[in-house]
Structure formats: C-alpha cells, structure tokens
Amino acid sequence: MDEIDSIGSSRVEGSRGGDSEVQRTMLELLNQLDGFEATKNIKIIMATNRIDILDSALRPGRIDRKIEFPAPDEKARAEILRIHSRKMNLMRGIRMDKIAEQIPGASGAEVKSVCTEAGMFALRERRVHVTQEDFEMAVGKVMQKDSEKNMSIKKLWK
C-alpha cells in the first residue's frame, strides 16, 4: 500500500465531509489488519513519506516493522541532480556538487524538484540556459520546510 498516509493519517474529532469517508476506510483497514491469523503467511507492506502524520492505531501488533529508507547522501544527491538535469540546457560550469551540499536531508523527489524548479526559473525569464543561480533559487523554493516537522519525523524513526 503506497501513500498509506492518505487514509492512515491521525483522526481528529469533529471532522466532516470527505474526512468521514477517510476515517471509515481507516477503520476498515484496521479491522482487516486485526483479522489476519498468525498462521497465515500474509505480508502487508505500507509506504509513506509522512510517518509523522500516521494514526497511532497503526502501531506495533498491526504494523510490526518499520524500515527506513534514508535520504540520499551528498554524493547520491549530486548524481540525482545530474540524472534529472541531463536533458536540460545547462550553462557551462554548473556545480551539482555545490547544489547537493545545500540540500542535506533532501529526499530523491525533492532533489528532482530542485531540477524542475531551476528549469522553470529559466523558462519564466525566457532564457535558453539554466544557470547556477537558477539552481540556488530552486533550492530555496523547494527546501522551504518546517524544521519542526523534520525533527518530529526523525524522532519517530529512533
């Protein structure tokens, strides 16, 4: 189940409309998880990028293992930048390693978004080449994160 947070996010009192459908779906999921017999060889894998918003009912006993796939290191981020900028018309001398340094903890998707945003900055100004400055502005835009949220996510994995 990919994006389990779409139905497995924390439930709140007084929700309405579409939220009630999500809550009913979540309750049914919990009932189904509780219904598996230990002798059956059934494995369920769930994925999320937002472990911080998962409902506490998705606890050990229902979900027995958490496997973290950590964010790419600096070398991997630089390679992801190279891969996703390969078809872009880049100005000579762009330092992907310098961009990778500026985005510690970024996910692969966030690194890809930096490339996309850098290209958009050049397009908006009707320029043919993407510059180092475009990448630096893209880093600022993509990486505007709530540091408190990042801290809570890291604590959940400990």
Q: Which residues of 65-78 are buried (b: 16+ CB within 10 A; e: fewer)?
A: eeeeeeebeeeebb
pTM higher than 0.75: no
Domain interval for residue 37: 5-53
143 and 92, same domain (yes or no): yes
pLDDT at 9 over 80: no
pLDDT at 7 over 90: no
pLDDT at 12: 60
Please state the domain count of the chain.
2
88 and 136, same domain (yes or no): yes
In a domain, 28, yes or no: yes
pLDDT 10s digits, 82-116: 999 999 999 999 999 999 999 999 999 999 999 99
In a domain, 65, yes or no: no
In a domain, 98, yes or no: yes
In a domain, 157, yes or no: no
Q: Which amino acid is at 43?
A: K
Query: Is the C-alpha dihedral spanning 137, 139, 144, 148 positive or negative?
Result: negative
89 and 32, same domain (yes or no): no
